[in-house]
Amino acid sequence: MIPWLLVEWFRAHARALPWRDGYDPYKILVSEFMLQQTQVGTVIPYFERWIIRWPDLRSLAAADETEALKLWEGLGYYSRCRNLLKAARAMAEAGYTSPPAPAEELRTFPGIGAYTAGAIASIGYNLPVPAVDGNVERVISRLLGIEEPSGSAALRHRVTEAVSSMLNDRNNRSRKRISPREFNQALMDLGAMVCTPSRGGVPFCGECPWENYCLARKTGREAELPLPRQRAPISRDEAWGVLAVSSIHKGILLHRRPNKGLWAAMWEIPWFLRSGNFWEDFDAWCVSCGLNLSPDRNSPKEVGYTSFSFTTHHVRAQVVTCSVEGTLPDETWRFFSLRELDDVSLPAPSRKFLACFEKIDIL
């Protein structure tokens, strides 16, 4: 019987992951927030440091956001960290000492969608709820020959229905009870270890417990399914990364981003699009930001190039240092000393700019 073949495979080949130790629902909650759009190998050390600092839901609910963001630094997608804190606080305020079990209730908390709710309910509490991520979409689309684009709502719906059917025994002739915890994790591990994306090769079908049942394998389409994701075009931009240094304030100019959107509420080293001459672009940027700065126009120094990506943009930035003095328009602008920067959580582009800056001796 197909589901049991996968569970038996999982019992022999399951990955040893720290959040699987004891299946504490709180640890599952933390791991699932961290794993969103991030690889397992990257997450493990962050998860282990996080659990040492905040070992349970109550301690996390009382955590300082600045400290949490600093510990999260490097994982990216910082809204996940803020939503994790909001969810923990809301659960604690509702009287919970651990995330609640029902998936429907879990989805009422910040940052918890269908997949995360399903993962906590099924892995943490062994409830028969689907937990469909990209790995599961790929496995089931190949198994059943589903011709829908990767990441599409249509594919997610059909895969969710198929997994739900297996979990609830609607196609189980053997009448053996399938452990939702084992089955959902088995799907995830199979997608990560065996039924892998076809970029640069093909899946390891010979190691799959479902090889003889897989429609994609039978028709030679294992490298084609799921169908390619429908992606928006990528824009490629040139920019300046500006390390504006004040000798009076003994620091580097940073700007606090808006409370919503990309890198929300984080301090960043300024950058702006490049159209030509540095000072022309700099002056136009100051006007657009309401900055009244008096730069030393003999001070600019190019200290390197770096690149970064976000949403549908790829940016190549030339990093420049310059000396500036002047007044700042509001509290969203501030000069930070290098020592203060050690305690500030910076988005990835700013950390790259700072790495260029630290190669020279200005402050």
> Do residues 235 and 316 touch, judged by C-beta distance below 8 A?
no
Integer Cα distance of 285 and 273 in angstroms: 9
214: helix, strand or coil: coil
Please report, for residues 141, 319, 321, 347, 350, the alpha-carbon distance to residue 359 in angstroms, rounded to integers and kept in the order given. Answer: 49, 12, 12, 19, 15
> Cα 336 from chain centroid?
27
Closest CA to 28 of 169, 177, 162, 180: 180
Integer Cα distance of 110 and 180 in angstroms: 24
Give phi and psi for 356, each to the nearest 5: -65, -40
Over the Cα atoms of the chain, what is R_g? 25
Give phi and psi for 203, each to the nearest 5: -65, 165
Integer Cα distance of 239 and 276 in angstroms: 10
Active-site annotation holds for 32 = yes
From first CA to last CA, the distance across the chain in angstroms is: 68
Burial 299-324 (b: 16+ CB within 10 A, else e): ebeebbebebeeeeeebebbbbbbbb
Catalytic residue among 8, 32, 137, 211: 32
Pairing state between β 235-246 and 313-327: parallel
Catalytically annotated residues: 32
